[in-house]
Every structure is written in C-alpha cells, then in structure tokens.
Amino acid sequence: MDWSNDTYIFMSFVDGQPLDIAWNDLDYLTKTRIASQLKTYIDDLRTMGRMTYIGSADHSPVTDLIFATCPFDSEKEFNEAIVEAYHLTVPRQHIQKFLFGMIAHKERHVAFAHGDLRPPNIMIKDGNVAAIIDWELSG
C-alpha cells in the first residue's frame, strides 16, 4: 500500500484538564500566566516563516464550511473566495461595503494558525498550559 500522499499527526496522551473546565477554579495570577503562555504560543505560530499559501497544513482542501474550493496560493485568491461565498448567501447590496476594503488592501503576512483555538482545546496542568490539542483545522 502506498501511503506517500497521506499526512499523519502523531500524538501522545496529555495529562491535564481542559481550560473551560479548569478556568473557574484558577486564581487571578494563574489565569494571567496561562494567558501569557498562550500569547507566546500564538506569537510563535505567527512567526513560522513567511507564507503566501492559505489552506490546510497538508495542502489539502480548505477545511472551512463556507468554502467549496481548494487551497489558495495567495491572499488575493482567498479574499475572492470569501467574497464569492458571501455573495451566494448574503444580498449583494449589504455585502459590498464590508468586503471592498478587505480586497483593496495590499497583501499581508499569512501566518500558520490552529484553526480551532478555544478553551476545550487547551489542556492545563499544575497551573500551566500543558498542550494545545485538536489541530485538524490548522493551516
């Protein structure tokens, strides 16, 4: 069997508690430390090289429900797909003023992102971020 075109992410068990469950029991200093750690992790993701590609980490089709298209090679392609997706669902007279400014700007830095970073996907142990889980929407 040829598995050369498959992408795998290997994970191990992470001991801890999801942030949404732990949050109410944490003191102010612990919450502040966790927020600072998350900011550092997000900053690290944003500096993982300069990219123009927008899409899934393995270059498979975009895993966002509003798009029926494949990955994008540029911000311009991505913006055009957003406009097209909304034109299909929102009357044109309401959308034009909101989306025009987005398309008119020059290309910006494209950064790697988790795609589903929310409290249930942040594992906490001993008052620190132990892991960020659920990366299938990353890209």
Does residue 54 sit in helix, strand or coil? strand
Q: Rounded to the nearest 10 degrees, what angle do helices 75-89 and 92-104 cross at?
A: 170
Q: What is the pTM of this model?
A: 0.68
Mean pLDDT of 59-69: 62
Phi, psi of 127 (to 5 degrees): 75, 15
137 in any annotated domain: no
Residue 57 lies in a domain: yes
Contact criterion met (CB below 8 Å) for 83 and 69 = no
Q: Is residue 22 situated within a structural domain? A: yes
Structurally, the chain folds into a number of domains equal to 1
Query: For residues 122 and 42, is the Cβ–Cβ distance under 8 A?
Result: no
101-124 pLDDT, tens digit per residue, is: 666 666 667 777 888 899 999 999
Cβ(61)–Cβ(53) below 8 Å? no
Q: Domain for residue 104, yes or no?
A: yes
pLDDT in tens, 12-53: 888 999 999 999 999 999 999 999 999 999 998 888 766 667
